[in-house]
């Protein structure tokens, strides 16, 4: 049985407007076209666009329903950033920023943004050079970028301004959490492990600066 938009909407548990569905389909189509000449995702991953990648990305909206300003580190093929932007296009004042150091991937992200009319901007630079960016973000995300002990320092300038981190993690999370003690800086940051909608073995780790939450 194939898994498509209807199953994605059912499992996400959030309304998906016709306009949002069209934006997501534009993203899916361009990803398939670009993947013929640029290695953005593995060939088999295209068949898992809705069931794995889109659902894995969109579930973050359930964890930060009021967030408007999002920043994604190491955006790659656009998960979760482009999926989030497809939904947030209907929210006044919302924006998604993406940091991607590889030029061809940054160009792909830009093309999807333009074709789908997304409230998003790409920063073609290293995460270390981006730092905290400009202004304050509500949420910082990253998917398949780095283990937590490296990821938290990358996100630190953004977390320190009050953003929450929502980071996708897999079955090796316990080892990552143990190795991240130093990065959590003796309790200066809190890490909360949440279930994943898209993968029973996956988790979402919510990281916040301790003083930012009561």
Q: What is the pLDDT of residue 214?
A: 41
Distance CA 105, CA 77 (A): 7
Measured CA to CA in angstroms, residue 48 lies from 4, 9, 166, 206 at distances of: 9, 15, 22, 25
Q: What is the pLDDT of residue 68?
A: 97
Strand partners, 164: 139
Q: Is the peptide bond before 187 cis (omega within 30 degrees of 0)?
A: no
Q: What is the pLDDT of residues 69-103, one digit of tens each?
A: 999 999 999 999 999 999 999 999 999 999 999 99
Domains of the chain, earliest start first? 5-212 (3.40.50.150)
Q: What is the pLDDT of residue 1?
A: 64
Ranges of the chain with pLDDT below 70: 1, 211-214
How many CB atoms within 10 Å of residue 195? 10
196-199-204 Cα angle (round to 5): 30
Reduced DSSP (H G I as helix, E B as strand, rest coil) percent helix, strand, coil of the chain, to 5: 45, 20, 35
Cut 0.85: pTM above it: yes
């Amino acid at each position: 049985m194939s898994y498509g938009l209807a199953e994605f909407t059912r499992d996400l548990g959030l309304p998906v407007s016709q306009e949002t569905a069209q934006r997501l389909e534009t993203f899916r189509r361009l990803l398939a076209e670009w993947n013929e000449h640029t290695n953005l995702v593995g060939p088999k991953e295209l068949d898992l666009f809705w069931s794995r990648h889109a659902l894995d990305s969109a579930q973050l909206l359930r964890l930060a329903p009021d967030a408007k300003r999002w920043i994604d580190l190491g955006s790659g093929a656009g998960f979760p950033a482009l999926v989030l932007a497809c939904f947030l296009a209907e929210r006044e004042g919302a924006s998604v920023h993406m940091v991607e150091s590889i030029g061809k991937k940054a160009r792909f992200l830009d093309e999807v943004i333009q074709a789908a009319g997304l409230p998003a901007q790409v920063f073609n630079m290293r995460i270390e050079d981006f730092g905290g960016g400009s202004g304050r973000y509500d949420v910082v995300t990253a998917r398949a970028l780095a283990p937590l002990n490296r990821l938290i320092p990358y996100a630190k300038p953004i977390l320190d301004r009050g953003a929450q981190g929502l980071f996708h993690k897999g079955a090796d999370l316990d080892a990552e959490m143990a190795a991240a003690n130093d990065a959590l800086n003796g309790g200066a940051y809190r890490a909360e492990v949440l279930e994943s909608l898209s993968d029973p073995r996956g988790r979402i780790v919510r990281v916040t600066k301790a003083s930012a939450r009561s």
